[in-house]
């Protein structure tokens, strides 16, 4: 049996997406790529719940490249940024900002925690009072290293009081967690193709507000050419107008798949708000059911109560169990991931639960069964079947 990929990205993709990306490479000026690209750009605004004037970007690359694009297009060296730091990927954002010559302030929390919104309000307020305002605030919507989700809406509200531009790394969140770009007023919401969006790796995706684009136009130090929003902007505009254009070759196979996956995401309703609410609800239900089965096996989560993401579980090994669990779970035909946060790396494992797989409850049950069997093989005494029962009771 083909192993089931249940790491927090890359993830299993739908059959239609797998077909769309695996054909012979179409040319970037072929009619089918032009149409798929144009549709995908339009549908990104809907999935992101963004304003009609917000600008989507689809660029070949990874999530890290999307982060780089945000950092280098919004801030000049010497400007100030606040990083709401929840782990490994917030650290990466901070390092990128520092390499750009930006003056970075981190608000940190212990692994599994998140800085409080009031601490963020205080930090932003006092910087403004001291006439050294932050130009932008960066946060990781879901930090994949800890499974912590921040309260994006409240953080954006706190930043907007002082007109601080906001950038959210949604790599492990977009299309799985609620994010209302237009009504919350975010500056940039970025992601990568291999997570809840439901594609193989290879695309950096983001939607950028007009205000954030203005910040790019005002820069004194241009970003590297390959990630310059002003180089890519006419290309995005052309494809949306169903005209071909060239700056740097787009990842044509992935764009064919992007069109399909965004249509699948929006298929729940003609109303994008309802479609996204339904999709997020499914992620919530699955996350609750996974947590119920971890609890039934006596396991504890890494994130503090109330901060658990819907897109993945970060779960502590019980007493006497270590990373050998991952190999035992693999023997059951399911691939899960180890820890990532450097401070607690050896103390927990991670299971992704996002995207297409959520429409296959049998695969979700297969996953909790495999973890249960793995724990039993590691010597833990658990009653066989508790994980499955707890999952089914909660998932319904």
Judged by CB under 6 A, which of 32, 62, 116, 245 binds ligand PMP?
62
Question: Per CB under 6 A, does 144 bind ligand PMP?
Answer: yes
In whole angstroms, what is the distance from residue 96 CA to residue 69 CA? 10
Report the phi/psi class of residue 38: left, alpha or beta, with left for phi > 0 and alpha for psi in -120 to 50. Answer: alpha
Residues 329-348 that bind ligand PMP (CB under 6 A): none
Handedness of CA 191, 196, 199, 200 (dihedral sign): positive
In whole angstroms, what is the distance from residue 166 CA to residue 190 CA? 11
- Quote the least distance from Cβ 172 to ligand PMP, whole Å: 4
Judged by CB under 6 A, which of 169, 177, 259, 272 binds ligand PMP?
169
Question: Per CB under 6 A, does 200 bind ligand PMP?
Answer: no
Question: Per CB under 6 A, does 63 bind ligand PMP?
Answer: yes
Nearer to ligand PMP by Cβ, of 144 and 293: the residue is 144
Nearer to ligand PMP by Cβ, of 44 and 312: the residue is 312
Strand 136-140 and strand 165-169: the pairing is parallel
Question: Per CB under 6 A, does 352 bind ligand PMP?
Answer: no
Judged by CB under 6 A, the stretch of 58-66, 72-80, 155-163, 281-289 that binds ligand PMP is 58-66
Nearer to ligand PMP by Cβ, of 196 and 380: the residue is 196
Partners of 55 in beta bridges: 208
Judged by CB under 6 A, which of 17, 150, 192, 292 binds ligand PMP?
192
**First-to-last C-alpha distance (Å) of the chain:** 27
Can you list the alpha helix ranges (DSSP code H) found in the chain? 15-21, 31-47, 63-74, 88-99, 117-129, 152-161, 181-184, 210-218, 229-240, 252-266, 272-296, 324-331, 361-377, 386-395
In whole angstroms, what is the distance from residue 232 CA to residue 51 CA? 19
Judged by CB under 6 A, which of 4, 44, 58, 172 binds ligand PMP?
172
Question: Per CB under 6 A, does 176 bind ligand PMP?
Answer: no
Residues 78-107 that bind ligand PMP (CB under 6 A): 89
132 CB neighbour count, 10 Å cutoff:
11
Nearer to ligand PMP by Cβ, of 56 and 63: the residue is 63
- Quote the least distance from Cβ 354 to ligand PMP, whole Å: 11
Judged by CB under 6 A, which of 171, 236, 265, 275 binds ligand PMP?
171
Nearer to ligand PMP by Cβ, of 195 and 356: the residue is 195
Contacts of 66 (CB under 8 A, 6+ apart): 59, 169, 171, 190, 191, 192, 204, 205, 206
Q: What are phi and psi of 205, to 5 degrees?
A: -125, 140
The distance of Cα 357 from the centroid of its chain, to the nearest Å, equals 16
How many positions of this chain bind ligand PMP (CB under 6 A)?
A: 12
- Quote the least distance from Cβ 90 to ligand PMP, whole Å: 8
Judged by CB under 6 A, the stretch of 139-147, 236-244, 252-260, 267-275 that binds ligand PMP is 139-147
Nearer to ligand PMP by Cβ, of 68 and 372: the residue is 68
Judged by CB under 6 A, the stretch of 56-64, 72-80, 270-278, 294-302 that binds ligand PMP is 56-64
Longest dimension (CA), the chain: 64
Give the binding site for ligand PMP (CB under 6 A).
9, 62-64, 89, 140, 143-144, 169, 171-172, 192
């Amino acid at each position: 049996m083909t192993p089931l990929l249940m790491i927090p990205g890359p993830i299993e993709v739908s059959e239609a997406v797998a077909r769309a990306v695996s054909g012979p490479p179409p040319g970037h000026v072929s009619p089918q790529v032009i149409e798929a690209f144009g549709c995908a750009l339009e549908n990104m605004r809907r999935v992101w719940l963004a304003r009609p004037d917000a600008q989507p970007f689809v660029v070949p690359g990874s999530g890290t490249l999307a982060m780089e694009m945000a950092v280098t297009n919004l801030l000049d060296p010497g400007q100030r940024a606040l990083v709401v730091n929840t782990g490994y990927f917030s650290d990466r954002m901070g390092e990128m900002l520092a390499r750009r010559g930006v003056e970075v302030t981190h608000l940190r929390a212990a692994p599994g925690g998140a800085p409080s919104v009031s601490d963020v309000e205080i930090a932003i307020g006092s910087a403004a009072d001291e006439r050294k305002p932050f130009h932008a605030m960066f946060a990781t919507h879901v930090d994949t290293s800890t499974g912590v989700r921040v309260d994006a809406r409240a953080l954006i509200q706190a930043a907007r009081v002082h007109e601080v531009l906001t950038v959210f790394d949604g790599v492990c969140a977009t299309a799985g967690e609620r994010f209302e770009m237009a009504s919350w007023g975010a500056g940039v919401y970025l992601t990568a193709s291999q997570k809840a969006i439901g594609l193989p790796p290879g695309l950096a995706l983001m939607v950028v507000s007009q205000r954030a684009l203005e910040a790019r136009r005002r820069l004194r130090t241009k970003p590297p050419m390959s990630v310059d929003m002003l180089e890519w902007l006419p290309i995005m505009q052309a494809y949306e107008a169903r005209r071909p254009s060239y700056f740097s070759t787009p990842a044509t196979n992935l764009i064919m798949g992007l069109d399909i996956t965004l249509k699948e995401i929006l298929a729940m309703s003609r109303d994008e708000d309802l479609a996204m609410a339904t999709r997020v609800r499914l992620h919530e239900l699955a996350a609750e059911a996974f947590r119920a089965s971890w609890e039934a096996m006596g396991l504890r989560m890494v994130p503090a109560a109330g901060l658990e993401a819907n897109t993945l579980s970060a779960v502590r090994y019980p007493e006497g169990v270590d990373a050998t669990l991952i190999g035992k779970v693999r023997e059951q035909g399911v691939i899960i991931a180890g820890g990532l946060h450097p401070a607690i790396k050896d103390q927990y494992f991670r299971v992704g639960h996002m995207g297409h797989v959520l429409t296959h409850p049998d695969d979700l049950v297969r996953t909790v069964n495999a973890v249960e069997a793995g724990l039993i093989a590691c010597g833990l005494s658990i009653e066989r079947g508790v994980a499955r029962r707890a999952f089914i009771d909660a998932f319904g």
